[in-house]
């Protein structure tokens, strides 16, 4: 079999697999309003990850609602493929300046399934970039990863989304590779997925932010939300450190979601991806 016909087969299989279950889902979804990033209704349209070319799949998001036009007409869309060798070193960025508060008042987080993604909502964190204070609002997971490094997808992407008082976003995201050990962050809430119902927030007794982030090595670029309305007001921080997750944990998520939950990578359109490393800073000052 030629490579091309194999690719065609894979694509066909993909469309077949995703068009079948989505027929039922689409009818249900049709009756529901779409939920936006904050879980509030904005538009009667419904989108899916599905196949890129399915009627409400990623390549059509921009046509489904006037409010989502950025999804097809924007120039700063996310996710992107990060070509690590093309990123521009920028020592001025400095280490990430974040504080996550594990005070008991923040332990009561909630777990939400919005029909597309599993989200953990909890406050109690802040990230300061260029003097702007962004407060943490939620944690998201996507499988496979949305961002890629030199074209490579990882099994999972984990991110903490922050928002400033002006409404702009800052997302700190990490790519996760398989490992035998469970990821401790997910141990806190993946077991609750079996009880999770759409649009019914589930109380989580404990949700400790354990961002053992490597805040000294990251990429930064200007992009968008990776779901409609694809607003282009997100500062993206993609950690260079690859974290780990067990195949069993990824299976818990993917069997809950049933479809992949990643938007395809978007064109850079001349945007710069900056790179920050403490080692670079040390070299510069020596
Ligand atoms: C967490 O929620 C439970 C149940 O609603 C409540 O009893 C408890 O006081 C809450 N804890 C905190 C620290 O708010
Ligand atoms: C950022 O905002 C949070 C609460 O919104 C606050 O606790 C924190 O001190 C602020 N950080 C800075 C550096 O101003
Ligand atoms: C950023 O996008 C969100 C979602 O569309 C919007 O609510 C917010 O007002 C935007 N912020 C700015 C500064 O444009």
For residues 161 and 179, give the distance between their C-alpha atoms in angstroms, rounded to a whole number: 25
- Mean pLDDT score, 74-94: 96
pTM above 0.75, yes or no: yes
Q: Give the model's pLDDT for residue 212.
A: 67
Ligand 3 centre and the CA of 234: distance in Å? 9
Query: What integer best gives the mean pLDDT of the chain?
Result: 83
Ligand 1 centre and the CA of 166: distance in Å? 30
- Domain 3-285 falls in which CATH fold? Carbonic Anhydrase II (3.10.200)
The residue contributing the CA closest to ligand 1 atom 12 is 105
Can you give the residue ranges of every domain in the chain?
A: 3-285
Q: Is the CB of 167 under 6 A from ligand 3?
A: yes
Reported as type and span, the H/E element at residue 255 is helix 247-257
Ligand 3 centre and the CA of 25: distance in Å? 29
Q: Give the model's pLDDT for residue 83.
A: 98
pLDDT in tens, 187-217: 989 999 999 999 899 998 888 876 567 889 9
125 neighbors 95 (Cβ within 8 angstroms): no
71 neighbors 230 (Cβ within 8 angstroms): yes
């Amino acid at each position: 079999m030629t490579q091309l016909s194999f690719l065609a087969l894979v694509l066909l299989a993909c469309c077949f697999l995703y068009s079948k279950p989505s027929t039922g889902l689409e009818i249900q979804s049709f009756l529901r309003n779409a939920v936006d990033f904050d879980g509030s209704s904005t538009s009667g349209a419904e989108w899916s990850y599905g196949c890129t070319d399915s009627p409400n799949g990623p390549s059509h998001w921009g046509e489904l609602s006037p409010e989502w036009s950025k999804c097809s007409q924007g120039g700063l869309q996310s996710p992107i493929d990060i070509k690590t060798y093309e990123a521009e070193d920028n020592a001025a960025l400095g280490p990430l300046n974040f504080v996550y508060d594990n005070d008991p008042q923040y332990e009561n987080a909630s777990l939400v399934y919005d029909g597309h993604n599993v989200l953990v909502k909890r406050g109690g964190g802040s990230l300061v970039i260029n003097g702007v204070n962004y407060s943490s609002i939620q944690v998201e997971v996507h499988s496979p990863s949305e961002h890629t490094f030199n074209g490579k997808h990882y099994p999972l992407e984990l991110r903490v989304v922050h928002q400033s008082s002006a409404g702009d976003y800052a997302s700190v995201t990490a790519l996760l590779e398989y490992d035998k050990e469970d990821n401790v962050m997910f141990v806190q809430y993946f077991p609750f997925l079996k009880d999770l119902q759409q649009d019914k927030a589930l109380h989580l007794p404990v949700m400790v932010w354990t961002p053992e982030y490597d805040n000294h090595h990251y990429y930064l670029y200007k992009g968008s939300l990776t779901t409609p309305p694809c607003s282009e007001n997100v500062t993206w921080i993609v950690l260079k450190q690859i974290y780990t997750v067990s195949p069993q944990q990824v299976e818990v998520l993917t069997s809950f979601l049933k479809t992949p939950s990643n938007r395809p990578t978007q064109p850079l359109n001349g945007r710069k991806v900056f790179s920050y490393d403490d080692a670079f800073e040390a070299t510069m000052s020596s």
